[in-house]
A and B are shown apart, each in its own frame.
Chain A
């Protein structure tokens, strides 16, 4: 107890210090872990409605935000880690603002976005009551080595989960995990309605999946299926009779719709009879895109979209989402640890949708590799400027009077967004208002 209180105090001090410096969000959590290694177990014990872990390669941040919004709309007090700092330290850091000296979090439920590898480390300390497993795609193979390995991490997390798991029915890496959950744990699914099965390639890579020894499960009335009406409007269907929607999200694209479907299915599994579809729709329609995930910034009166890309599936989805409305484009590629140090994955993305308009600027440490990649898809590049700040300045001034879009890897996004926040008075990263 004393150790926990000491950890809380130390963490709060570290948090205040890093916020003054405008620094990273993981450091205070690191301080707490040093003082009290059992802090997380203690803090999340006894939450009346348990601990939900959201993980998978793509869509973690958006889906978590949507699920939290639905649960709050139902009147629950929800603890979450909204900053995208999805390692255990990040989770602890995000607790420090609200946690009392007792070190016990006051909330009905925790909904946590966790990195695939760290989700297991987290589960060693805190058994999740519920898991939402989104998808598996090629991502940062320098960290995860193989997709099969990533898939296995998710399966191990499912094995650690005590009450229910929600799985992607269309991703065989994920849906086959149903066979690995403990006895008594409920399995439900989310996915796309069979009527739009032909659009699955927009959401996942098919070429690495081998279905020869696997039969996909049949959806039941417990499982939410995405049924789009048009480019923006969609509903989530449960069986033949029940539907949530129609609704229109602030964030564009099929990927956002499938994230909303995952969040809705999970909320329904969590809330059971308490689930109200009108509240779910109201909450989802208000959710703003998380920082850098299709966030739209007003830059001198013109929209500037910041789109995070980190793996072939994500970049392909982003190009499909935004490619139908081509605007002046910049692509910023770094190769730090958080970006993935190997940039080979750029060759698993087709950039042909950028060909008509071309790309105004490539930037980041691997600016020339990106320009080279575009050249191989016959996409013209007007300028290459590895320095992110110089490139951003040029992009903002030279194309001042037109809508613009920046596709960027994680650390490039952090740098660009910091500059944009200072210039246009945006909320700082980690201070997401909703």
Chain B
């Protein structure tokens, strides 16, 4: 019943058996700490699947994932090797605002230091400069990504295909915010099908240092394993100070799922 308290045991909602075990007889190549921020408030669209995906892939590559779920009011783990966040409802965003402001400095320091992060939808918006509501109220973000989001009456909803540095990326967007990139801010990808940041300039998401923001649910990583492994590579190099040594992973299902969506949506 208690919702506050120990952080170390907060792994249940991701599934206990696939977490924290190496799943093979070979010794672990090293421990990688994944921090999922606000899993209760900001993960109603399956974005915890990204964390589950990274944990499983780390195991498959021979590393040992450690998952930490960060809840509002708890101490933020500054020893994170990879930070993930997802989409929530307006009420969820309101519940995390204070904690995010409190930890903004720590997150900015981690980002500036090269920590890989993946922020989806609502958390992508909160990692920007500001969110401006339909009524014109300016809600400040933590400014890690140079993007500004304007609330809209109309939602942008539907399947998406992007062209990115990691090949075609598929997912599903569901957002009312319209996001503009600041000058010099690189997008994560170019929209081949769907709306993207704002439905007009064909950009989607944003990347700065090793921080990735995107509107794509799906969840994003399982069907796009090249991107998942890119994040893992960054996390491994940061955690162990040595190059990522991939194991053998069978991505047949992921490749089929992705290429079929690409074919359906862009031919």
- Residues of A near any B CB (own CB < 8 A): 138, 141-142, 145-148, 207-208, 210, 341-348, 350, 352, 366, 368-369, 371-373, 375-378, 381, 384, 386
Contact = CB atoms under 8 A, between A and B. Distances in A.
A366 B257 contact: yes
Given A147-B44, A344-B218, A376-B53, A142 B256 contact: no
A346 B46 contact: yes
Nearest to B260: A368
A154 B45 CA distance: 21
* A-B pairs with lowest CB-CB distance, top 5: A347-B49, A344-B46, A347-B46, A368-B257, A368-B256
A348 B15 contact: no
B222 interface: yes
A343 B47 CA distance: 11
A277 to B, nearest CB: 34
A344 B45 contact: yes
Contacts of B253: 368, 371-372, 375, 381, 384
Contacts of A344: 45-47, 49, 172, 217-219
A384 B256 CA distance: 10
Given A341-B172, A347-B49, A142 B157 contact: yes
Interface stretch (B89-97, B99-107, B123-131, B133-141): B89-97
A363 B13 CA distance: 27
Contacts of B158: 142, 341
Contacts of B53: 376
Contacts of B245: none
A350 B256 CA distance: 22
Given A368-B256, A368-B260, A384-B253, A376 B172 contact: no
A376 B52 contact: yes
Contacts of A142: 157-158, 172, 174
Nearest to A349: B46
9 contacts: A142-B174, A148-B89, A208-B40, A342-B174, A344-B47, A347-B47, A369-B257, A372-B223, A375-B253
A377 B18 contact: yes
A386 B47 CA distance: 25
B20 interface: no
A141 B95 contact: no
B159 interface: yes
Contacts of B90: 146, 148
B44 A208 contact: yes
Interface in B205-245: 217-219, 222-223
Given A344-B217, A344-B218, A376-B222, 20 more contacts: A141-B45, A142-B157, A142-B172, A145-B157, A147-B89, A341-B158, A342-B218, A343-B218, A344-B46, A344-B219, A347-B48, A347-B222, A348-B48, A368-B253, A368-B260, A369-B257, A372-B222, A372-B254, A376-B49, A381-B253
Q: Chain A CB within 10 Å — which of B46, B155, B217 has the most?
A: B46
B180 interface: no
A382 to B, nearest CB: 13
Q: Chain B CB within 10 Å — which of A145, A343, A376, A386 has the most?
A: A376
